[in-house]
Amino acid sequence: MEILLALAIMGLLLGALAVNWSALAGGRDLEEGAGRLETALRMARADAANHGRRIRLAFDEMDGRFIVFWEADPMGEPGRFTEYTACTWDDYVSMDRIRLERCELVGLSVYQVMKMSTPGGAGASAGPAAITFEPDGSSDSALLEVSAVDEREVRHVIIELEGLTGTVTSRILSPEELAAEGSP
């Protein structure tokens, strides 16, 4: 009888551990995904400076990934962005565990003649804004909100990019904190 009781208690403890473990893994996915997105912002800035070309990150609403564009010929065709197929770091940022909830430019854009929400620069779109990085190290100031793909994770991460200094900061917010900030 004592052995059965000990096994039952051990089973309950293992069940509770399994439930808590999956919750911890979901939180880890959100934090890791947000950290990788922060790294992508820093790498885009570095690539723009290294290549002397504007780099643009645009987010595809259909599959949730981001696409890297660059101004291939700034002297011959200024403002014309094409997909940056030679990008070596875009695969580093996997958007399979996180979802972009919003990306909006805050403050003034460094490249105001373009419609920022359209990757190629012509026309406007209702989708998330694209972020342009300049060769001089500046960029658009942007606010990104990401959530976990796992519906059990209710927290969101707010990532802020300060365009002039290049500072990238992030905050993890509970649903209550998010509502208090007035997020859509």
Question: Which CATH number covers residue 111?
Answer: 3.55.40.10
pLDDT bucket at 19, cuts 50 / 70 / 90: low
Share of the chain above pLDDT 70, in %: 80
SS3 93: coil
| pLDDT value of position 14 | 82
Residue 182: alpha-carbon gap to chain centroid = 20
Q: Which stretch of 41-55, 98-112, 121-135 has the lowest confidence by average pLDDT?
A: 121-135
| pLDDT value of position 25 | 54
- pLDDT tens-digit readout, 56-86: 998 887 776 788 999 999 889 988 999 988 8
Distance CA 59, CA 69 (A): 11
The conformation of residue 130, written as its DSSP 8-state character, comes to P
- Domains in the chain, number: 1
Distance CA 34, CA 3 (A): 46
> Is a pLDDT exceeding 60 seen at residue 26?
no
Residue 61 structural domain: 2-181
| pLDDT value of position 184 | 54
**Residue environment code for 26-58, b if the CB has 16+ CB neighbours within 10 A, otherwise e:** bbebbbebbeebbebbebbbebbbeeebbbbbb
- pLDDT tens-digit readout, 117-169: 444 443 344 567 889 999 998 999 999 999 888 888 889 999 999 988 889 99
pLDDT bucket at 180, cuts 50 / 70 / 90: confident
Mean pLDDT of the chain: 81
| pLDDT value of position 77 | 92
| pLDDT value of position 98 | 86
| pLDDT value of position 116 | 41
